[in-house]
C-alpha cells in the first residue's frame, strides 16, 4: 500500500509516528469513553441545538400558516427550499465518495476520514430531506409520491423527476445508513468492551450485534462491506444526476440543459469535500488528531476540491459558450440576466467563490496552510450554495414571457429554516462525535505497518 | 331580563327566561335577515330545480346609466352576472363594474341598518323624524327643504321627485356626481342652445379622431361602441374595411392603446388643437395635425370626431361643428334628447346648494345616494357647510364619509335586491327586478322618496309597478309588464334622433381652456374603482388597472421625462400644490404619458369606505375644484423624499425581441397574410417522445383576436366571479401572488410613429404537450379526453413544479388559505359548480369546465352533440369586443375552427412544442402611411 513518491516532494504520512494498536484504540475511543467533552463541544452543540429548535419552530409555523411564509411566488415557485435541498444533497456526496469509491480504489488515506465523512453524508441527507417534504403545499400528503396500493387506484406520475428524486434520495439514504452502520460494528464492539458504564456497555453491546472479532465475522464483514461499496459507488453518480433531472427535464431556459448531470455531480463532490474540510480542520485541532488526520489528508482533499472545482468552472464557461453558440435568444438572455440582471452580484460572487479563489490551491504553500484551506473550503460552501440559487431562482425569475417576470426575496422564515438545518446538522454531528468513534479504529489499524500487540 | 339576585333559579323560571331570550334573538334574526328555511320546499317555487341555475334579466344603474344584465341564480342566490344580449348598452357583454357589482351585493361591510347619529335605529323611528320635519314645511311650501341625488335616469324615481317638487314648490332638487357630463352638456348648450345627448355609429366610421375621449371605457354606451369599433378591426387579408383611430390624449387610456396613431398632448393644449382643426389654421401646429385634417377630409360622412368629457365645453362644441362640416351628422353622429329626467349642470347645481347651506337657508337636506362629503369639489367645502344644516339625511350603500356627518343614515338596497327602472344611454328603459330578498334592513331610493311623499309603507315593488301601470294603462298591462321584466327592456323606449344642426360660428375658447406653461394636473376616474364608489370592492381593488397594472392604489401618473425633471422615481412621494391646495401622492411612470402633465385618479384615499377600501392611495378630490374639475393648470410639484410602495402585477413591459405578440399593418397583412406564422417555426405533432392525445368527439380550443382586444379587464373580473377566484390583498400582490386565472399582459413597443401598446389576454393555454403535466409527481394535472388540461385540486400536493415549468406562468398557487371561508355572505357568493380551493394547491383556468359540462348534460338529454356556440366561457361572455371565441376544434364549421384557420392565427411560444389550444390572431393596425413615412 505504500505509494511511490518523487523524492523531491515531501509527502506527509497518512498517520503520525508512534502509533500502535493500543494507542489508536485508546486515543479514538477515549474521546468518547474516557475523556470529558471539551468546553468547545458544549458551545458548538449549543449552537446546533438552538438552530434545531429554530428549525422546529419554523417548521411548525410553516405547517400552521402555509408555504406563503416563505418568499416564493409566481414565477419563482422554488426558492430557498430547493436551493437548500440541492446544496445539502451535494454535500453528502463526499462521504460516499470517500467511503465507497476510494475504498474500491484502495486509497488507504481514506481510513481516517471515512467515518465522520459518512456521518456527515447521513446528516446532510437528513437536512436535505426536510426541504422537499416541507416545501409542499400540503406536506401531510407526502406519501402520495410513494407507490403504495391505495383505494384511489393511483400511482405516482412516473414521468415526473420528483418521483425519481424520491427513489434516488431514499435509496441513497438507506445505502449510506447501512454502509455506515456496517462499518461501525467492529468499533462498536471495541466500545462495548472498553465502556465502563453499564448502560453504555449494554447499548454498545446491542448495537454491535454480537461481534466477537472472529475470522468468520471478519470474512462476512469484508464481503458485505465491499459489496455495499459497490452498491454505493453508482449512487455517488446517480443521486445528483437525478437531482439535476429536476431541472433538465423542464423547459425553463437555464434549467433545460444536457450538461447538468456531470456538472451537478462534480459540483456535489466539490461541495462535499469542502464540507469535509470544513469539519475536519477544526475537529483535528479540537481533539488533537493531527497525527490521525494529517496534512496528507488535508492536502489530498484540497487537491480533489481543486480538481472538481475545475470541472465546475469548466461547466460555467461551457454554459456561457453554449448560450452564445446556440443562437437561441432565450438561452442567451439567461446568461445576460445572470451576469447583468438584478441578481448579477450573486453571479459574480459565485464566480469569485467557485472559480477564482479556489485557484489558490495550485500553490503548495497554500496547501500547507490549514487556515487558508479552511477559508477556501468555507468559500466553496458559500459558492456552491450560490450556484444553486442562481440556477433555480434566477432562471425562474425571468423565463419566457416578460410580463410574468418577478423577483424573489427570502423572508425571515426562509433564513430560519435554512439556518435551522445547519443547526440540526451541527447538533447531529456533535452528538455523533460524542457517542461514536469519529475515526474508524480498526481500519486505522490496518494501515499500521507493524502491529505491536493484538486487539484486546 | 335576568333575575336580580343570583339565588337559585327554579326550572320554570329558567325556561321562561330562556324562551324570552330565544324569542328576542329570533326577532332580531328576523329583522336582520330573512328567516332561513331549514325544511325542504313544501311547495317548490315554479321551475326551481336544485342544482339547476335560473337566469333573470335586470339592469344595473350606475353613474346615471343603465346596463342590461342577465343574472345567474342558484337556489335563489345570484352568483354570476352576464350582459343582456337584447339590451343595447350591453349586447351581451359587461364591463368590470357590472361583474364586480355581485361582490358588492354580498359585501359584509355594507350598511345594514338605519342609523341615527351613528347608532342603530329603526325605519319607523326615521319615518317619525321625517314626518316631524316635513310637517314643518307644509306652511312654507318646502322652503329650506333640499334633496341631493346622483344623476336620476329612472323614470319612476324622476317622476316621484317631480311630484315631490310639486308638493313642496319651494323645495329644490339638486343632482351631483363627481364624474358627470357637465362638459358635454355645456358643449351641446354652446352648439345647439340646448342640452342634447350625442350618439355615435362606430360601425359606419372609417376614421375616428378622439380628442381626449376614452370612448371604449367610460363614455356612455361604451360597451356597444367597443363592440362596433372592434368589429371594424377584424379583417381578412386584402380587405380594406378596417377603421383608423387617431387619439389625442395626455393620460394613457385603453382607447389610446387601440389607436393607430396616438399623439400624447397635454390635455390643456387639446382645445387649441381642436380650434386649429376647426379653423383649418394649421400654422404653428404639429405637422401630424395636417395629415389628420387631410385624412378627415378624405372620409367625409364616414368619420367621427369625438371629444372627451374631460375637455371643456368649447371642445365639444367644436367637435359638433367639425362633424357637421365633415357631413357626419345623421350618418355617424346623431343627437337625441337627454335621457335624464331633469338634466342639469351638476357642478353648478351642487354649487347652488352649497351656497344656500353656507347661508343657513337649508333646514333639511336629504342626500339620496352619492358621497358628496368625500367627492364634492374641494372649494365647496361641502363637509363644513353640511354641518350648518339642522337635519341631514343620507342614504347610500355604505356608511361612508357623508353618512358619518348626517343625522340619519338609511342603508340603500343593492340593485340586485330591488325593483326599479333605469334608462340606458340611448334611452332604452329597463325594469330592474330583484334576484334576492334584501340581505339587510335596507330601503330603496324609491321607498325613501315615497316616504317623503307621505307613503312610507308603500313597497318598492308597488311603487315601480304602479308607476308603469300609469304609463301603460291599457288592458294588456299584465303581459306588457311580464314581458318587460322577462326581457329586461321596455320595447321602443329608445330616444329618437333629433334633426338639429350646430350653430356655425366657432365659440371663442374660454379662459379655462388656455394652457399654462407649468405642470398640468389631470383628474380622471379611476379605471377600476371609478369615482370611489367601488372602493370597497376587493375584486376591483385587486384588478390590475389597464396600462399601469397598478393594484390597490392610485398614483401620480407621469411620463419618464416629467419624472426625471422632478428627480422622482416610481413610488417616490411628491407634493402637488395646485390652487392653494396640496396633496401628497406616489409617482408612477407611464410610457406614452404627455410631458409636463400629471394624472391623478379619483376614488382613493377613502377613510370610511369599509375594511377593503380604507387607507389606499391618496384623495385627489382634495385638489379638485369646481372651476377645474378635470384639468388644473400650473401646479407646483416637489419631491418629498418619502416613499410609498406601489404594487403592480406586471413589472416588465418590453417584448425583448420575443415573438410573443405578433402584429402587422393592414398593408403588410395584405402582402403577406401568414406573417404571424412565419415568425417562429412550430414543431410538427410527431416531434415528441410521447404519442399525441386522441380526442374523440370534442377538442376544445380558444382563439383570441389581439386586433379586437381593447384591454378593458371585463374578462378578468368575469373569470374571478365565475370561478371563485380569491382576492389576496396588496401585500400578496407585491409578492407576485395574485390569483387571477386570466390576466391581460400589456407590452409597450416603440412603433414607427408612436408608442404601440399590445394587450394580450393570457390564460391557461391548455397545451396538448403540456409541460406542467409531465412534471407533476402525483398526476394532479392531467389531460382530458377532450384536450383540457385539468387540475385535480384534491390530488395536488403543492410542489409548484407545474408552475415553474409553465412557460406562460398562468398557474396560480394558494400560498395561504386565501379563500374567505367564514364570512356568511361570501358563502352565498360562491359558484356552487366550481370547487373552492384551499391552501397549498395549484389552480388555473379550466376553460370554464363547469359550463362545458352544463352544455354536455343538456346535449345528452336531447341525445345530440353539443352545438357550436352553446358553450360560452365567462371571459368570452363578458368581452365587449368579441375578441374571445371558444368551441370545438373537431368541428371544422365551428366559429373557433374558422378563426384558427385564419392566416393571422399563431400560438404563443408554440415553438417550444407545447401545442397550445389557446391561440391568438395577430394584431393588425391601420396607420396612415403618410404619417409613418414622415418619421
Q: Do B797 and A157 touch (CB under 8 A)?
A: no
**How far apart are alpha carbons A338 and A329 in whole angstroms?**
14
Nearest chain A residue to B747, by CA: A403
**How far apart are alpha carbons B44 and A172 in whole angstroms?**
65
Residue A455: the pLDDT is 33
- Which superfamily, per CATH, for B197-336? Dimethylsulfoxide Reductase, domain 2 (3.40.228.10)
Report the length, in residues, of chain B.
935
Residue A2 lies in a domain: no
**How far apart are alpha carbons A248 and A256 in whole angstroms?**
4
Express as a percent the part of chain B with pLDDT over 70.
94
A238 touches B at CB < 8 Å: no
Residue A451: the pLDDT is 43
**How far apart are alpha carbons A145 and A155 in whole angstroms?**
8
Using an 8 Å CB-CB cutoff, list chain B residues near A162. Answer: 775, 777, 799, 801
Decide: B157 and B445 in contact? Cβ < 8 Å.
yes
Residue A232 lies in a domain: yes
pLDDT band at B507 (very low <50, low <70, confident <90, very high): low
B870-896: average pLDDT? 94
Q: Which three cell numbers stand for residue B844?
A: 388555473
Residues 714-753 of B with CB under 8 A from A: 732, 735-737, 743, 745-747
Does a cis peptide bond (omega within 30 degrees of 0) precede residue B95?
A: no
Residue B75: the pLDDT is 85
B562 touches A at CB < 8 Å: no
Decide: A60 and A53 in contact? Cβ < 8 Å.
no
**How far apart are alpha carbons B265 and B210 in whole angstroms?**
12
Q: What phi and psi, each to the nearest 5 degrees, are found at residue B909? A: 60, 25
Q: Which three cell numbers stand for residue A252?
A: 425553463
Decide: B539 and B583 in contact? Cβ < 8 Å.
no
The residue written with cell numbers 338609511 in the block is B410
Residue A404 lies in a domain: yes
B842 touches A at CB < 8 Å: yes
pLDDT band at B450 (very low <50, low <70, confident <90, very high): very high
**How far apart are alpha carbons B257 and B880 in whole angstroms?**
16
B654 touches A at CB < 8 Å: yes
The residue written with cell numbers 379550466 in the block is B846
Residue A452 lies in a domain: no
Decide: B890 and B694 in contact? Cβ < 8 Å.
no
B421-427: average pLDDT? 92
A135 touches B at CB < 8 Å: yes
Residue B38: the pLDDT is 56
B794 touches A at CB < 8 Å: no
Domain that holds residue A227: 21-446
**How far apart are alpha carbons A401 and B335 in whole angstroms?**
46
Three-state DSSP class for B918? strand
Sign of CA dihedral B445, B450, B456, B458: negative
B774 touches A at CB < 8 Å: yes
pLDDT per residue over B594-609, tens digit each? 999 999 999 999 999 9
Mean per-residue pLDDT of chain B:
89
Of B27-31, B190-194, B599-603, B758-762, the range with the lowest mean pLDDT is B27-31
| DSSP codes, B417-478 | G--EEEE-TT--EEEE--SS--SSS-B-HHHHHHHHTT-TT--HHHHHHHHHHHHS-STTHH
**How far apart are alpha carbons A372 and A358 in whole angstroms?**
10
Using an 8 Å CB-CB cutoff, list chain A residues near B660. Answer: 400-402
pLDDT per residue over B659-694, tens digit each? 999 999 988 999 999 998 888 888 888 888 888 888
**How far apart are alpha carbons B212 and B315 in whole angstroms?**
10
Express as a percent the part of chain B with pLDDT over 90.
74
Q: What phi and psi, each to the nearest 5 degrees, are found at residue B681? A: -90, 125
Q: Which three cell numbers stand for residue B442?
A: 335596507
Q: Is B935 exposed, middle or buried (0-12, 13-18, 19+ CB in 10 A)?
A: exposed
Q: What phi and psi, each to the nearest 5 degrees, are found at residue A265? A: -65, -45
**How far apart are alpha carbons B441 and B122 in whole angstroms?**
9
User: For residues B384-411, b (16+ Cβ closer than 10 Å) or e, as one string?
Assistant: ebbeebebbbbbbbbbbbbbbbbbbbbb
Q: Do A249 and B774 touch (CB under 8 A)?
A: yes
Q: Which three cell numbers stand for residue B618?
A: 391618496
pLDDT per residue over B800-816, tens digit each? 999 999 999 999 999 99
**How far apart are alpha carbons B314 and B272 in whole angstroms?**
10
Using an 8 Å CB-CB cutoff, list chain A residues near B774. Answer: 159-160, 249
Run of H or E including A86: helix A80-96
Residue A14 lies in a domain: no
Residue A114: the pLDDT is 86
Residue A298 lies in a domain: yes
Residue B6 has pLDDT above 50, yes or no: no
The third-level CATH classification (topology) of the domain covering B710-865+903-925 is Alpha-Beta Plaits (3.30.70)
Residue B24 has pLDDT above 50, yes or no: no
Q: Which three cell numbers stand for residue B497?
A: 334622433
B321 touches A at CB < 8 Å: no
Decide: A82 and A134 in contact? Cβ < 8 Å.
no
B840 touches A at CB < 8 Å: yes
How far is the CA of B96 from the CAs of B434, B533, B540, in angstroms?
A: 21, 13, 8
Of B224-228, B377-381, B516-520, B780-784, the range with the lowest mean pLDDT is B516-520
* CA-based nearest distance B6→chain A, Å: 43
pLDDT per residue over B527-583, tens digit each? 999 999 999 999 999 999 999 999 999 999 999 999 999 999 999 999 999 888 999
Residue B7: the pLDDT is 45
Q: Is B120 exposed, middle or buried (0-12, 13-18, 19+ CB in 10 A)?
A: exposed
Q: What phi and psi, each to the nearest 5 degrees, are found at residue B314? A: -60, -40
The four Cα atoms A35, A39, A45, A47 give a dihedral, to 10 degrees, of -170
CATH code of A354's domain: 1.20.1630.10
DSSP character for B215?
A: T
**How far apart are alpha carbons B503 and B190 in whole angstroms?**
8
Give residue B676's region: left, alpha or beta (phi > 0; psi -120 to 50): alpha
Using an 8 Å CB-CB cutoff, list chain A residues near B807. Answer: 251-252, 399-401
Of A250, A333, A401, the CB nearest to B809: A401
Residue B580: the pLDDT is 87
Calculate the CA B388 to chain-centre distance.
Answer: 36
Residue A10 lies in a domain: no
**How far apart are alpha carbons B99 and B543 in whole angstroms?**
12
Using an 8 Å CB-CB cutoff, list chain A residues near B840. Answer: 66-67, 136-138
**How far apart are alpha carbons B623 and B612 in whole angstroms?**
24
Enumerate the CATH 3.40.228.10 domain ranges in chain B, comma separated: 197-336
Using an 8 Å CB-CB cutoff, list chain B residues near A412. Answer: none
Enumerate the CATH 3.30.70.20 domain ranges in chain B, comma separated: 710-865+903-925
**How far apart are alpha carbons B235 and B303 in whole angstroms?**
19
**How far apart are alpha carbons B121 and A176 in whole angstroms?**
75
Q: What is the largest CA-CA distance in chain B?
A: 100
DSSP character for B208?
A: E
The four Cα atoms B326, B330, B331, B337 give a dihedral, to 10 degrees, of 110
Distant-in-sequence, close-in-space partners of B805: CB < 8 Å, separation ≥ 6: A250, A251, A252, B771, B772, B774, B775
The residue written with cell numbers 461499496 in the block is A229
Residue B149: the pLDDT is 94
B421-448: average pLDDT? 92
Reported pTM: 0.91
**How far apart are alpha carbons A21 and B573 in whole angstroms?**
77
Decide: A297 and A16 in contact? Cβ < 8 Å.
no
**CATH no. for B520-648:** 2.40.40.20
Distant-in-sequence, close-in-space partners of B723: CB < 8 Å, separation ≥ 6: B741, B831, B834, B845, B846, B848, B874
DSSP character for A99?
A: I
Decide: A62 and A413 in contact? Cβ < 8 Å.
yes
Residue B474: the pLDDT is 84
Residue B842: the pLDDT is 95
Q: Do A405 and B798 touch (CB under 8 A)?
A: no
Decide: B485 and B197 in contact? Cβ < 8 Å.
no
How far is the CA of B892 from the CAs of A208, A382, B291, B896, in angstroms?
A: 75, 59, 44, 8
Does a cis peptide bond (omega within 30 degrees of 0) precede residue A75?
A: yes
Q: Do A137 and B816 touch (CB under 8 A)?
A: no
Residue B46: the pLDDT is 73
Using an 8 Å CB-CB cutoff, list chain B residues near A253. Answer: none
Three-state DSSP class for B463? helix
The CATH label, of 3.40.50.970, 3.40.50.1000, 2.30.30.30, 3.40.50.740, for the domain at B115-180+343-487 is 3.40.50.740
Q: Do A144 and B795 touch (CB under 8 A)?
A: yes
Q: Which three cell numbers stand for residue B32?
A: 336582520
Instruction: Mutation target for B interface from A61, A65, A68, A252: give the one with most B CBs within 10 A.
Output: A68
Q: pLDDT truncated to tens, each residue of chain A (456 aa)? A: 455 555 555 677 777 777 778 888 888 888 888 888 889 999 999 999 999 999 999 999 999 999 999 999 999 999 999 999 999 999 988 888 888 888 888 787 888 888 888 999 999 999 999 999 999 999 999 999 999 998 888 899 999 999 999 999 999 999 999 999 999 999 999 999 988 889 999 999 999 999 998 999 999 999 998 899 888 888 888 898 999 999 999 999 999 988 999 999 999 999 999 999 999 999 989 888 888 888 888 998 999 999 999 999 999 999 999 999 988 889 999 999 999 999 999 999 999 999 999 999 999 899 989 999 999 999 999 999 999 999 999 999 999 999 999 999 999 999 999 999 999 999 999 999 999 998 888 888 877 754 443 333
Of A74, A145, A161, the CB nearest to B809: A74
ipTM above 0.90, yes or no: yes
DSSP character for B182?
A: H
Residues 146-185 of B with CB under 8 A from A: none
Q: Which of A363, A110, A159 is nearest to B688 (CA)?
A: A159
Q: Do A78 and B811 touch (CB under 8 A)?
A: no
Of B735, B779, B800, the CB nearest to A77: B800
Domain count, chain A: 1
Q: Which three cell numbers stand for residue B801?
A: 413544479
Higher pLDDT pick, B514 / B523: B523
Decide: A268 and A241 in contact? Cβ < 8 Å.
no
Amino acid at each position: 500500500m505504500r505509494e511511490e513518491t518523487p523524492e523531491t516532494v515531501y509527502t506527509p504520512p497518512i498517520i503520525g509516528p508512534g502509533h500502535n494498536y493500543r494507542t489508536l484504540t485508546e486515543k479514538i475511543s477515549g474521546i468518547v469513553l474516557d475523556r470529558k467533552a471539551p468546553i468547545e463541544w458544549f458551545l458548538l452543540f449549543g449552537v446546533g441545538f438552538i438552530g434545531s429548535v429554530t428549525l422546529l419552530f419554523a417548521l411548525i409555523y410553516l405547517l400552521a400558516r402555509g408555504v406563503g411564509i416563505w418568499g416564493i411566488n409566481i414565477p419563482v415557485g422554488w426558492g430557498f427550499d430547493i436551493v437548500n435541498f440541492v446544496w445539502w444533497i451535494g454535500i453528502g456526496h463526499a462521504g460516499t465518495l470517500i467511503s465507497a469509491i476510494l475504498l474500491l480504489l484502495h486509497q488507504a488515506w481514506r481510513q481516517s476520514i471515512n467515518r465522520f465523512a459518512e456521518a456527515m453524508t447521513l446528516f446532510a441527507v437528513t437536512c436535505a430531506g426536510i426541504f422537499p417534504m416541507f416545501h409542499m403545499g400540503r406536506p401531510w400528503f407526502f406519501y402520495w409520491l410513494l407507490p403504495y396500493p391505495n383505494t384511489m387506484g393511483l400511482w405516482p406520475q412516473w414521468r415526473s423527476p420528483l418521483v425519481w428524486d424520491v427513489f434516488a434520495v431514499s435509496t441513497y439514504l438507506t445505502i449510506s445508513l447501512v454502509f455506515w452502520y456496517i462499518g461501525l460494528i467492529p468499533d462498536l464492539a471495541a466500545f462495548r468492551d472498553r465502556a465502563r458504564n453499564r448502560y453504555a456497555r449494554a447499548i454498545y453491546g446491542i448495537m454491535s450485534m454480537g461481534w466477537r472479532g472472529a475470522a468468520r465475522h471478519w470474512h462476512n464483514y469484508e464481503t458485505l462491506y465491499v459489496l455495499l461499496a459497490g452498491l454505493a459507488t453508482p449512487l455517488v453518480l446517480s443521486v445528483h444526476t437525478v437531482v439535476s433531472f429536476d431541472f433538465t427535464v423542464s423547459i425553463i431556459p437555464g434549467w433545460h440543459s444536457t450538461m447538468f448531470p456531470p456538472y451537478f455531480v462534480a459540483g456535489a463532490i466539490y461541495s462535499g469535500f469542502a464540507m469535509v474540510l470544513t469539519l475536519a480542520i477544526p475537529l483535528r485541532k479540537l481533539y488533537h488528531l493531527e497525527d490521525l488526520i494529517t496534512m496528507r489528508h488535508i492536502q489530498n482533499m484540497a487537491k480533489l476540491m481543486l480538481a472538481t472545482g475545475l470541472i465546475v468552472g469548466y461547466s460555467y464557461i461551457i454554459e456561457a459558450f453554449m448560450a452564445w453558440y446556440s443562437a437561441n435568444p432565450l438561452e442567451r438572455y439567461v446568461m445576460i440576466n445572470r451576469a447583468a440582471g438584478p441578481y448579477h452580484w450573486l453571479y459574480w460572487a459565485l464566480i469569485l467563490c467557485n472559480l477564482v479563489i479556489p485557484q489558490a490551491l495550485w500553490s503548495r504553500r497554500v496547501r500547507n496552510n490549514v487556515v487558508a484551506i479552511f477559508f477556501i473550503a468555507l468559500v466553496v460552501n458559500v459558492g456552491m450554495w450560490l450556484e444553486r440559487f442562481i440556477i433555480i431562482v434566477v432562471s425562474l425569475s425571468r423565463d419566457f414571457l416578460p410580463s410574468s417576470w418577478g423577483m424573489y426575496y427570502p423572508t425571515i422564515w426562509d433564513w430560519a429554516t435554512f439556518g435551522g438545518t445547519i443547526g440540526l446538522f451541527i447538533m447531529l454531528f456533535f452528538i455523533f462525535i460524542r457517542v461514536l468513534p469519529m475515526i474508524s479504529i480498526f481500519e486505522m489499524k490496518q494501515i499500521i505497518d507493524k502491529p505491536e500487540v493484538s486487539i484486546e | 331580563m335576568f333575575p336580580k339576585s343570583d339565588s337559585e333559579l327554579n326550572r320554570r323560571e329558567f325556561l321562561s327566561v330562556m324562551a324570552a331570550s330565544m324569542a328576542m334573538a329570533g326577532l332580531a334574526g328576523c329583522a336582520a335577515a330573512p328567516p332561513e328555511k331549514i325544511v325542504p320546499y313544501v311547495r317548490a317555487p315554479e321551475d326551481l330545480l336544485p342544482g339547476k341555475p335560473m337566469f333573470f334579466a335586470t339592469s344595473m344603474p350606475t353613474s346615471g346609466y343603465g346596463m342590461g344584465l342577465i343574472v345567474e341564480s342558484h337556489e335563489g342566490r345570484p352568483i354570476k352576472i352576464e350582459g343582456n344580449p337584447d339590451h343595447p348598452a350591453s349586447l351581451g357583454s359587461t364591463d368590470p363594474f357590472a361583474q364586480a357589482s355581485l361582490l358588492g351585493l354580498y359585501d359584509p361591510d355594507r350598511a345594514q341598518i338605519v342609523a341615527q347619529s351613528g347608532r342603530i335605529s329603526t325605519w319607523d323611528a326615521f319615518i317619525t323624524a321625517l314626518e316631524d320635519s316635513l310637517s314643518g314645511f307644509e306652511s312654507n311650501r318646502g322652503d329650506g327643504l333640499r334633496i341631493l341625488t346622483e344623476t336620476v335616469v329612472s323614470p319612476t324615481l324622476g317622476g316621484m321627485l317631480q311630484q315631490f317638487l310639486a308638493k313642496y314648490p319651494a323645495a329644490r332638487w339638486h343632482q351631483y356626481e363627481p364624474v358627470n357630463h357637465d362638459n358635454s352638456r355645456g358643449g351641446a348648450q354652446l352648439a345647439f342652445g340646448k342640452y342634447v345627448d350625442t350618439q355615435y355609429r362606430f360601425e359606419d366610421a372609417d376614421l375616428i379622431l378622439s380628442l381626449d375621449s376614452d370612448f371604449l371605457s367610460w363614455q356612455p354606451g361604451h360597451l356597444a361602441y367597443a363592440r362596433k369599433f372592434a368589429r371594424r378591426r377584424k379583417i381578412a387579408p386584402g380587405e380594406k374595411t378596417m377603421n383608423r383611430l387617431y387619439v389625442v390624449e395626455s393620460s394613457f387610456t385603453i382607447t389610446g392603446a387601440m389607436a393607430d396613431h396616438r399623439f400624447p398632448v397635454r390635455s390643456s393644449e387639446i382645445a387649441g388643437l381642436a380650434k386649429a382643426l376647426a379653423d383649418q389654421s394649421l400654422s404653428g401646429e404639429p405637422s401630424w395635425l395636417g395629415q389628420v385634417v387631410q385624412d378627415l377630409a378624405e372620409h367625409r360622412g364616414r368619420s367621427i370626431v369625438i371629444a372627451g368629457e374631460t375637455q371643456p365645453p368649447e371642445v365639444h362644441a367644436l367637435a359638433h361643428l367639425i362633424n357637421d362640416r365633415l357631413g357626419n351628422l345623421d350618418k355617424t353622429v346623431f343627437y337625441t334628447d337627454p335621457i335624464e329626467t331633469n338634466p342639469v349642470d351638476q357642478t353648478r347645481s351642487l354649487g347652488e346648494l352649497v351656497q344656500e347651506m353656507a347661508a343657513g337657508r337649508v333646514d333639511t337636506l336629504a342626500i339620496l345616494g352619492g358621497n358628496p362629503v368625500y367627492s364634492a369639489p374641494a372649494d365647496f367645502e361641502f363637509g363644513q357647510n353640511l354641518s350648518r344644516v339642522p337635519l341631514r339625511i343620507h342614504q347610500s350603500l355604505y356608511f361612508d364619509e357623508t353618512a358619518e356627518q348626517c343625522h340619519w343614515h338609511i342603508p340603500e338596497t343593492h340593485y340586485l335586491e330591488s325593483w326599479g327602472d333605469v334608462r340606458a344611454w340611448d334611452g332604452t328603459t329597463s325594469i330592474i327586478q330583484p334576484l334576492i330578498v334584501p340581505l339587510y334592513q335596507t330601503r330603496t331610493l324609491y321607498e325613501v322618496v315615497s316616504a317623503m311623499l307621505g307613503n312610507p309603507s308603500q313597497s318598492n315593488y308597488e311603487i315601480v309597478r304602479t308607476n308603469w301601470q300609469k304609463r301603460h294603462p291599457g288592458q294588456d298591462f299584465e303581459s306588457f309588464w311580464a314581458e318587460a321584466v322577462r326581457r329586461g327592456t321596455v320595447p321602443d323606449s329608445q330616444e329618437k334622433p333629433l334633426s338639429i344642426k350646430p350653430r356655425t360660428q366657432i365659440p371663442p375658447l374660454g379662459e379655462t381652456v388656455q394652457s399654462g406653461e407649468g405642470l398640468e394636473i389631470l383628474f380622471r376616474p379611476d379605471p377600476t374603482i371609478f369615482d370611489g364608489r367601488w372602493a370597497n370592492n376587493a375584486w376591483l381593488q385587486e384588478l390590475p388597472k389597464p396600462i399601469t397594472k397598478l393594484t390597490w392604489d392610485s398614483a401620480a401618473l407621469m411620463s419618464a421625462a416629467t419624472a426625471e425633471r422632478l428627480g422622482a422615481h416610481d413610488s417616490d412621494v411628491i407634493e402637488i400644490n395646485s390652487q392653494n391646495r396640496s396633496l401628497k401622492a406616489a409617482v408612477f411612470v407611464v410610457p406614452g404619458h404627455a410631458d409636463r402633465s400629471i394624472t391623478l385618479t379619483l376614488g382613493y384615499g377613502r377613510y370610511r369606505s369599509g375594511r377593503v377600501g380604507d387607507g389606499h392611495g391618496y384623495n385627489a378630490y382634495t385638489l379638485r375644484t369646481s372651476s377645474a374639475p378635470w384639468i388644473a393648470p400650473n401646479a407646483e410639484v416637489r419631491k418629498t423624499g418619502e416613499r410609498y410602495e406601489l404594487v403592480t402585477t406586471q413589472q416588465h413591459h418590453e417584448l425583448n425581441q420575443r415573438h410573443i405578440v405578433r402584429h402587422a399593418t393592414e398593408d403588410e397583412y395584405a402582402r403577406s397574410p401568414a406573417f404571424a406564422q412565419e415568425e417562429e417555426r412550430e414543431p410538427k405533432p410527431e416531434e415528441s417522445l410521447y404519442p399525441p392525445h386522441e380526442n374523440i368527439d370534442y377538442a376544445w380550443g380558444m382563439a383570441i383576436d389581439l386586433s379586437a382586444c381593447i384591454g378593458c379587464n371585463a374578462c378578468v373580473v368575469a373569470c374571478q366571479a365565475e370561478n371563485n377566484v380569491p382576492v389576496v390583498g396588496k401585500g400578496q400582490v407585491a409578492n407576485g401572488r395574485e390569483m387571477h386565472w386570466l390576466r391581460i399582459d400589456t407590452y409597450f413597443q416603440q412603433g414607427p410613429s408612436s408608442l404601440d401598446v399590445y394587450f394580450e389576454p393570457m390564460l391557461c393555454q391548455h397545451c396538448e404537450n403540456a409541460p406542467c403535466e409531465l412534471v407533476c409527481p402525483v398526476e394532479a394535472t392531467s389531460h382530458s379526453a377532450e384536450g383540457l388540461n385539468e387540475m385535480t385540486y384534491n390530488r395536488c400536493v403543492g410542489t409548484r413544479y407545474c408552475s415553474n415549468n409553465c412557460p406562460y406562468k398562468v398557474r396560480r398557487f394558494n400560498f395561504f388559505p386565501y379563500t374567505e371561508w367564514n364570512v356568511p355572505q361570501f358563502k352565498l357568493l360562491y359558484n356552487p359548480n366550481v370547487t373552492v380551493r384551499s391552501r397549498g394547491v395549484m389552480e388555473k383556468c379550466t376553460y370554464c369546465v363547469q359550463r362545458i359540462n352544463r352544455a354536455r348534460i343538456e346535449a345528452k338529454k336531447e341525445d345530440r352533440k353539443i352545438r357550436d356556440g352553446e358553450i360560452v366561457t365567462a371571459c368570452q361572455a363578458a368581452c365587449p369586443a368579441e375578441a374571445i371565441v371558444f368551441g370545438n376544434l373537431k368541428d371544422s364549421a365551428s366559429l373557433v375552427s374558422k378563426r384558427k384557420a385564419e392566416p393571422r392565427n399563431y400560438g404563443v411560444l408554440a415553438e417550444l412544442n407545447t401545442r397550445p389550444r389557446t391561440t391568438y390572431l395577430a394584431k393588425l393596425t391601420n396607420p396612415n402611411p403618410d404619417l409613418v413615412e414622415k418619421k
